[in-house]
Amino acid sequence: MTVIDPSEQSPGTRAATRKERVAGWRVGVLASPAAPVYGALLGIIIIAWIVVTIDGGEFLTTGNIVNMLQRSVALGIVSLGQTVVILLGSLDLSVAALISLSSLVTAQQMDGQSGNVIPAIVIVLLLGAGVGLANGLIITKLRVNAFIATLGMALILGGIIENGWSGPQGGVTDGFSQDLGYTRFGVIPMSFILFAVVAAIVWFVLRSTRFGYRVYAVGGSEDVSKLSGLRTHRTIIGAHILCSLTAVITGIFLASRLKAGTPTVGADGGYDLESIAAVVLGGTALTGGRGGVIGTIGGVFILAVLDNVFNQLEFNSFVRDVVRGIVIIAAVAIYARRQEKKA
């Protein structure tokens, strides 16, 4: 077979090759399940910019962009873990309580001492792995539905928090709080880089490892996966450990922002239902087997933009919830119709 050096091709042939590549790239992007998510995000940004400008505010300013990026970090990280368990056809309602507990443990273990930063982070990560392992074992070995299992775990963690702490506790060191919570490079906060790193890791795990392949397989059909010889219990346990680890990382980040642990920081943020909403907005099917990290990131940004607009327009909580609910229902309805057309 003769291989033709591109430099030896005629200008017309090279131009045609480039057009074919661009056309292939365009078809690939538009066919991506995440494409409508980012189309919706772009539309919401344009509408938000127009509405805020008419109201006399400023939307696309450096400060506002930084604000939206920072607000997307906590929800974004925990939503990445929620994506993994939802891809299995499971979910995790214990993340909000775990975020609160991990923020308290982080601040208490650091106790204002810079030498305690690394040990505190290790302890909190072990806490997350333990909670995720317990969730996975309850679901797989005790055959408890994931909804009930993680709801029960949320109640257990809530009881531990209520019994051990009555208000903000501990002290995150100034350096750690400043570095993770407030440092930024231009318009990019340091915390957003943490979000990007966690997203890259989860994306790589799902797309390029056997574990990721098994997550999609089990989410598609657990029975078929078992017949194919996959160890589904290990996959489910591993996914819940990963989800809990993202929850405790979120707790560490929030502790750095607040410079203390707070018993209600997870519940106040509504990270259990908010993370599920972000995953669904991102196009991941609640029945499992379809979706991914890229769509979830788009869903997180959609919620961050909406929150920013609500704050600027000073909407009350009732209107916020109504608009959020309409957006989520509309998104799920659109995805369902797209799947029907494909089928």
CATH number at residue 85: 1.10.3470
Find out whether 238 and 211 touch, Cβ atoms under 8 Å.
yes
Name residues whose C-beta falls within 8 Å of residue 202's C-beta, 6 or more positions apart in sequence.
80, 81, 83, 84, 242, 246, 293
326 vs 107, more confident: 107
pLDDT band at 326 (very low <50, low <70, confident <90, very high): confident
In 3D space, the residue among 251, 255, 248, 250 whose CA is nearest the CA of residue 107 turns out to be: 255
Q: Distance of alpha carbon 298 from its chain centroid, rounded?
A: 10
Residue 329 lies in a domain: yes
For 164, residues 6+ apart whose C-beta sits below 8 A from its C-beta are 104
Domain assignment present for residue 129? The answer is yes
The pLDDT value recorded for residue 1 is: 46
Q: How many angstroms separate the CA atoms of 212 and 198, rounded?
A: 15
Is 111 a residue whose pLDDT tops 90?
A: no
pLDDT (tens digit, 9 = 90+) per residue, 209-244?
A: 999 999 999 998 888 888 888 889 999 999 999 999
How many domains does the chain divide into? 1
Report if residue 221 sits inside a domain: yes
* pLDDT for res 181: 84
The whole-model pTM stands at 0.87
| Domain membership flag for residue 332 | yes
Given a cut of 60, whether residue 4 has pLDDT beyond it is no
pLDDT at residue 5 in the model: 56
Q: Decide if 103 is inside a domain.
A: yes
- Residue 339 to residue 334: CA distance in whole angstroms: 9
Tokens of 128: 């997350």
- For residues 173 and 16, the model is more confident at 173
- Average of per-residue pLDDT across 88-108: 95
Bridge partner list, 261: 169
What range does the domain containing 64 cover?
60-341
Residue 216 included in any domain: yes
Q: Is 24 within a domain? A: no
**Residue 248, domain member (yes or no):** yes
Q: What angle do CA 202, 178, 60 make, to 5 degrees?
A: 70
Encode 186-221: b = buried (16+ Cβ within 10 Å), e = exposed. Answer: eeebbbbebbeebbeebbebbeeeeebebbbbbbbe
Radius of gyration of the chain (CA): 22
